[in-house]
């Protein structure tokens, strides 16, 4: 990952909801599964996984929408209530503790390129991955791919009690 900009901000299309990531993400997934293709209406979904208490709302209040997921466990997608743009999600596996921020909603999405391409078995054939890209056909083990500092942050997150300071509740 490149140097992190502590003022990395993003928001929806209409500007009603704005947020800031206050630390680098744990890891950035580029998911090529058919579910993400359908949900995004594109060839893949690009999500920056970050602790939810490190996403600060600057303006507005996203709306939580319960949405099915490929796992069958569902997810909560936080969307702008006005323009309906998906800003981030909470998946059942991580719950409220981790926000999967849609990289395309950032003002500078090029600041967070993917660390890994997942579910490449269902990647669109016209999507060409860079020769140096880390890619797996399905999913992976964190211990085999995440940097040590991200593993330590994730471990601390799993060991800490649940917090009410989720991004939909935190404001500056």
Q: What pLDDT, on the 0 to 100 scale, is given for residue 67?
A: 84
Instruction: Specify the pTM.
Output: 0.88
Which residues are registered as beta bridge partners of 75?
A: 67, 91
Digit-coded pLDDT (tens) for 91-129: 887 889 999 999 999 999 999 999 999 999 999 999 999
Q: Which two tokens stand for residue 118?
A: 């997942």
CA distance 125 to 47: 21
Judged against a pLDDT cut of 80, whether residue 13 lies above it is answered with: yes
Q: Which two tokens stand for residue 127?
A: 């999507």
What structural domains does the chain harbor? 8-159 (3.90.1590.10)
Compute φ and ψ for 99, nearest 5 degrees: -105, 130
Digit-coded pLDDT (tens) for 45-101: 999 999 999 999 999 999 999 887 777 877 899 999 999 999 999 988 788 999 999
Which is nearest to 112 in space by CA: 48, 54, 165, 67?
Answer: 48
Q: What pLDDT, on the 0 to 100 scale, is given for residue 169?
A: 46
CA distance 151 to 89: 20
Residue whose tokens read 């743009």? 85
DSSP characters over 83-97: T--EEEEEETTTGGG
């Amino acid at each position: 990952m490149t140097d992190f900009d502590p003022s990395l901000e993003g928001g929806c299309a209409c500007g009603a909801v704005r947020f800031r990531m206050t630390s680098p993400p744990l890891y950035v997934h580029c998911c090529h599964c058919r579910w993400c293709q359908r949900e995004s209406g594109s060839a893949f979904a690009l999500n920056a996984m970050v602790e939810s208490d490190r996403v600060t709302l600057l303006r507005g209040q996203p709306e939580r929408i319960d949405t099915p997921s490929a796992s069958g466990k569902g997810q909560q997608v936080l969307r702008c209530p006005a323009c309906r743009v998906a800003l981030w999600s909470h998946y059942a596996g991580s719950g409220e503790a981790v926000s999967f921020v849609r990289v395309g909603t950032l003002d500078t999405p090029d600041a967070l390129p993917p660390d890994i391409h997942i579910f490449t078995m269902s990647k669109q054939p016209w999507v060409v991955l860079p020769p140096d890209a880390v890619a797996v056909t399905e999913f992976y083990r964190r211990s085999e791919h995440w940097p040590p500092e991200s593993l330590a942050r994730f471990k601390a997150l799993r060991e800490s009690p649940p917090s009410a300071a989720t991004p939909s509740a935190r404001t500056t």
